[in-house]
Amino acid sequence: MEEGCIYCGQKLYLLKDGIVKCSACSKRYSPAKLKRQRALIETFCGDVTARAASQRLGIHYVTAKKFYDTLRLQLLVFLEQHYMEQVHKVQEYDEYLYLDHSKRKERRYIFDAHNFLSFDYGGKVYNILMPSLNRYKKSFLADGLDELYYNEFSKFLKIHRIAKLRSRDNTIVRFWKYFDEFMKKYKGVRHNNFIYYLKEAEFKFNFTMEERVPILTELLLKKRAADRR
């Protein structure tokens, strides 16, 4: 049994159904579920995919994937707040175009590229996802400019444009390289989900493994408390 309530630290009582109840705040929760969630937080922070985590921990893939998605949602708010508290530290910024590795050799995928702005604030990065390039697809194809656009994009993939940066060795370029490598294990993600993976990479780039677990644990605890209100 837990040494104390995860909400207030007071004494817990074990109920017949395996649920514990706090003697002070009267909140209830399952120690078994809490243990599973803590293990999933650790696999998430350790760059273990949801599928690999489900196999390692002996739980259903859907359960692991759903929990990972919950973590990513919490990170959106956390990273926004963290950036806004230190926005005065912004020194450099630049624009990046990302296309999944499996699509880079075929011109028909060129408009699937994701465009985002990266900001360096005190050695950490913050990213803003820009409007999808897909909205320009019809007009480029109608004007016969798809070939030109493909050639220009191919050049960009080979040479990072760093006009707004002080040097090639900087936090933003290091993040781009990190993100490019980070995405390889996912074999592509759905367009609408890209922002969640971008922010996951941002979080892991900004914080060490020792910092990640406590941050996510606290975020989930706050969410759980808010859901009970």
Residues 86-104 have pLDDT tens digits of 999 998 898 888 888 777 7
25, two tokens: 């705040």
Helices (H), 60-185: 61-85, 137-142, 146-158, 171-182
104, two tokens: 């880079």
Lowest mean pLDDT among 145-149, 193-197, 198-202: 145-149
The number of angstroms, rounded, from the C-alpha of 122 to the middle of its chain's C-alpha atoms is 20
Residues 101-122 have pLDDT tens digits of 777 777 667 777 888 999 999 9
Is-contact 7 25, C-beta < 8 A?
yes
Question: Higher model confidence: residue 15 or residue 222?
Answer: 222
By C-alpha distance, which of 139, 138, 140, 132 is closest to 115? 132
By C-alpha distance, which of 191, 201, 114 is closest to 153? 114
Is-contact 112 99, C-beta < 8 A?
yes
- Exposed (0-12), middle (13-18) or buried (19+): which is 198, by Cβ within 10 Å? buried
Q: What is the mean pLDDT of the chain?
A: 82
Q: How many CB atoms lie within 10 A of CB 193?
A: 12
What backbone torsions phi and psi does residue 29 show, to the nearest 5 degrees? -165, 165
Question: Higher model confidence: residue 167 or residue 220?
Answer: 220
Three-class SS of residue 43?
Answer: helix
17, two tokens: 């159904």
Of all residues in the chain, the percent with pLDDT exceeding 70 is 77
Residues 154-171 have pLDDT tens digits of 555 444 443 455 556 789
Q: What distance in Å separates the CA atoms of residue 186 and residue 180, rounded to the nearest whole number?
A: 11
Q: What distance in Å separates the CA atoms of residue 160 and residue 121, rounded to the nearest whole number?
A: 20
Is-contact 75 212, C-beta < 8 A?
no
Using CA atoms, how far residue 101 sits from 82, 157, 182, in Å, is 30, 11, 11
Is-contact 150 177, C-beta < 8 A?
no
Q: Is a pLDDT exceeding 50 seen at residue 1? A: no
